[in-house]
Chains A and B, each alone.
Chain A
Amino acid sequence: AQKVTQAQTEISVVEKEDVTLDCVYETRDTTYYLFWYKQPPSGELVFLIRRNSFDEQNEISGRYSWNFQKSTSSFNFTITASQVVDSAVYFCALTQDTGNQFYFGTGTSLTVIP
């Protein structure tokens, strides 16, 4: 069975602080794909990153960075020097190599206070 857990329901930080959003996943597949999406109040899910299970290299994109650790089944997302525009709900998702559905976590609502 596939499952994604985002234990942090809500996080508030003051602008310019760093924040890490946790994602823990469960799967019996050896090949799988992990994603992060951002959902602003408008509702549209915005794609941030895709990572396959064979690539454990951490990735940095501007103020965003992702830490993928297969040993702990985690795919954490860090925002450095947070900004008010980062306020949104962030979802982690998992999909199998042979399959067609995304399994989403329950999301983490991030509020960045000016």
Chain B
Amino acid sequence: ETGVTQSPTHLIKTRGQQVTLRCSSQSGHNTVSWYQQALGQGPQFIFQYYREEENGRGNFPPRFSGLQFPNYSSELNVNALELDDSALYLCASSVMIFSGRETQYFGPGTRLLVL
């Protein structure tokens, strides 16, 4: 077990709705990254938060947004859901010492289905 938890485990929404996914980082980890994993694909980087500030973003539109809280838990918010947003959403926590090189530890993911 990595100590990273996510909620909910499964979620069904309809197109146009908004969704909030939650992640609790491993104790002592100050960085959280979010990934989208479509069926049969590798995870795609959405963004990363370090000390409550966004610290890099992948090729995702602004309707994907996030928050990181002082206790290092975090949220991923997706507005105006589209059918293609159906995927497994993974969060990963790490310790930011130097950018990029630290191992990321993943949670079990939230499976989102958009109808």
Contacts and interface: CB of A to CB of B under 8 A. Distances in A.
Nearest to B100: A99
Contacts, number: 74
Interface residues of B, number: 30
Given A43-B111, A100-B55, A106 B99 contact: no
B81 interface: no
Contacts of A93: 42
B105 A47 contact: yes
Interface string B89-115: 010100000111101111111010000
B48 interface: yes
A100 B43 contact: no
Contacts of B2: 44, 46-47
B56 A99 contact: yes
Interface residues of A, number: 27
Interface string B1-44: 01000000000000000000000000000010101000011111
A101 B90 contact: no
Interface in A23-52: 33, 35, 37, 42-47, 50, 52
A33 B109 contact: no
Contacts of B45: 101-103
B103 A99 contact: no
Interface of A: 4, 33, 35, 37, 42-47, 50, 52, 91, 93, 95-107
